[in-house]
């Protein structure tokens, strides 16, 4: 797996002149027990809920096989992984997400997959706000919550690249990947 900054990911994964059929993206909302998944449409305009994978310490190889199957079945070109960009709250959650990605990398089975991080702040809260009035069973609630949090992450990225992708350089985004301190706020841009 290869990390690319969000704009570079867009340029190399979606704008490259290669196989246009293989352009869909997979959104990941990584939690302690579950990984919510969403998928983009082939034109990368809309994210839809896909599924939830159970996450344990011992099933990384199984999850990797699931990801390989999804890459093939859905013609995926990369992953958009939710990560808290808020500098005040990013510590433990961001470290857990990075550890998950490192574990996927260490399997050696997803070598040709590019990925980027995108802000997940407030995605779960937004979904929670929508689901609370439905009074769902706790298991159903958690499954829907994780899938739709993944939708929020992927949709946020898609909205950004569809609006700014060709007009912004990576230098205009503020990232500190080594310390897992991220910010998706644009310098010199109001939106």
The token duo for 186 is: 């644009």
**Which positions ≥6 away from 177 have C-beta within 8 Å?**
3, 5, 117
pLDDT digits (tens, 9 = 90+) for 138-151: 777 677 778 888 99
DSSP one-letter code for 48:
E
What's the whole-model pTM score? 0.82
The token duo for 134 is: 């439905």
Cβ density class 118-156: b for 16+ within 10 Å, e for less: bbbbebbeebeeebeeeeeeeeebbbbbbbbbbbbbbbb
Number of independent structural domains in the chain: 1
Residue 191 belongs to a domain:
no
- Beta-strand runs (E) in the chain: 2-3, 24-30, 34-40, 47-54, 76-83, 114-119, 173-176, 181-186
The token duo for 61 is: 């190889």
pLDDT digits (tens, 9 = 90+) for 49-92: 999 999 887 889 999 999 999 999 999 999 999 998 765 555 77
Residue 172 belongs to a domain:
yes
Domain that holds residue 128: 2-186
Helices and strands of the chain, counted as H and E runs: 5, 8
DSSP one-letter code for 11:
I
CATH number at residue 168: 3.30.420.140
């Amino acid at each position: 797996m290869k990390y690319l900054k969000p704009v570079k990911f867009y340029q190399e994964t979606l704008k490259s002149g290669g196989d246009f059929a293989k352009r869909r993206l997979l959104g990941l909302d990584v939690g302690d027990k579950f990984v919510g998944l969403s998928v983009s449409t082939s034109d990368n305009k809309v994210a839809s809920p896909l599924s939830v994978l159970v996450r344990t310490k011992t099933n990384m190889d199984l999850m990797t096989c699931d990801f390989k199957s999804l890459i093939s079945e859905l013609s995926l070109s990369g992953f958009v992984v939710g990560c808290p960009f808020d500098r005040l709250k990013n510590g433990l959650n961001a470290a857990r997400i990075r550890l998950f990605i490192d574990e996927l990398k260490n399997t050696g089975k997803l070598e040709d997959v590019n990925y980027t991080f995108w802000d997940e702040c407030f995605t779960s809260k937004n979904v929670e706000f929508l689901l609370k009035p439905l009074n769902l069973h706790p298991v159903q609630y958690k499954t829907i919550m994780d899938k739709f949090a993944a939708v929020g992450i992927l949709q946020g990225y898609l909205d950004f690249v569809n609006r700014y992708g060709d007009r912004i350089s990576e230098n205009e985004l503020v990232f500190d990947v080594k310390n897992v301190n991220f910010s998706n706020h644009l310098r010199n841009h109001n939106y």
